Amino acid sequence: MTRRSALPGFGLSLGLTLFWVSLIVIIPVAAVFIRSFGDGWQHFLTVGFSSRAMAAYRVTFGAAALATLINAVFGLLVAWVLVRFDFPGRRMLSAAVDLPFALPTAVAGIALTAIYANTGWIGIWLEPLGIKIAYQPQGIVVALIFIGLPFIVRAVEPVLGDLDRGFEEAAASLGATRWQVFSRVIFPEIAPALVTGCALAFARCVGEYGSVIFIAGNIPKVSEIAPLLIVTSLEQYDYSMEFRNAGAPPPARLAAALPTDLDAIMPKSATPAQSASNDSAQAKFGGGRDCAVRYRQQTIFNTMSSGVTTYTVPYTPEGCP
């Protein structure tokens, strides 16, 4: 007589897994790709491979790769210290490693900028040496190192803690040096975990936005990252599919229709000089013409809220000064 398990079977578990992953991951990602090609391949290639976009890709992936390599070395060192040594403050150090997980990225970016600016605690010492971190591409790497460190430490730490030290002692008893013990006994065991941590850190660094925009200069083709370019394009409504879906005019016509002077769309009263001009106009037209400043409603498309906004605009009747 077989004993039935209280846990769901393979079919039900797989079905729930596929449903949940599809709902949370696959469908949203597929929708993004489908909408990206909504205007055709030519439009996608033009926008996705423009000179500004390519520069943003180079900055983003280059900084993420460099930050990941640095974290691979120092993350492994931190994990080694936390696992192999017992010292006062060890738990505090372990908790500090997890701060980038819990700290809002915007707060991290502001803190890093304050520290590495030319008047910051560290930047004030680097400035005389000609080393600039804040508002430079180097600042992007610093922010990404901060974000990616815990991924590598937490991926390597449990594997390193489960290693049997008997193999190390056996290798040492056979005359192996410390480097040989590490490179031939320890590293092959922790390499898969290290690669996993590096992959997670790299992926996180590529998509990082909040901490980078504060410490980077955000200069197009110099220190602009890909996530910032995406957000900038969204804020400018720089993609035609949404205009077509919303029934709004194309970007070029919309830009031409928008007022360029903020004062032109704000309601205001007639100045004393305008009042005097109106009085003279009334006298010129025999008092039968009212040239006082009037107001009318002007409706324009609001790019930020995807709706329309009505402004009160002052004007004078035709034929009046």
3-state SS, one letter per residue, for 172-227? HHCCCCHHHHHHHHHHHHHHHHHHHHHHHHHHHHHCCCCCHHHHCCCCCCCCCCHH
**pLDDT of the residue at 257:** 40
Q: Are strands 307-315 and 294-302 parallel, antiparallel or unpaired?
A: antiparallel
Name the amino acid, one letter, at 247.
Answer: G
**pLDDT of the residue at 39:** 76
Q: Which structure tokens are listed for 94?
A: 């372990």
Measure the CA–CA gap between 125 and 131, rounded to whole angstroms.
9
Residue spans of the domains in the chain: they are 37-235, 257-315
- The pLDDT tens digits of the residues spanning 92-116 come to 999 999 999 988 888 999 999 889 9
Q: Which structure tokens are listed for 176?
A: 């192996």
Question: Hey, is 85 helix, strand or coil?
Answer: coil
Q: What is the CATH number of domain 37-235?
A: 1.10.3720.10
**pLDDT of the residue at 292:** 57
- The pLDDT tens digits of the residues spanning 253-288 come to 444 444 444 444 444 444 455 445 555 544 444 445
By C-alpha distance, which of 206, 64, 209, 215 is closest to 132?
215
For the chain, the distance separating the N- and C-terminal CA atoms, rounded to the nearest angstrom, is: 102
Q: What angle separates helix 187-206 from helix 51-84, to the nearest 10 degrees?
A: 140
Q: What angle separates helix 137-162 from helix 187-206, to the nearest 10 degrees?
A: 150
Measure the CA–CA gap between 236 and 265, rounded to whole angstroms.
20
Residues 304/248, Cβ–Cβ less than 8 Å: no
Please tell me what DSSP assigns to residue 130.
T
Block means of pLDDT (10 residues each) for the chain, 321 residues, are 66 90 93 82 84 92 96 95 92 93 89 88 88 89 94 94 87 89 91 96 93 86 88 70 41 41 44 50 49 51 42 55 55
Whole-model pTM over 0.85 = no
**pLDDT of the residue at 158:** 93
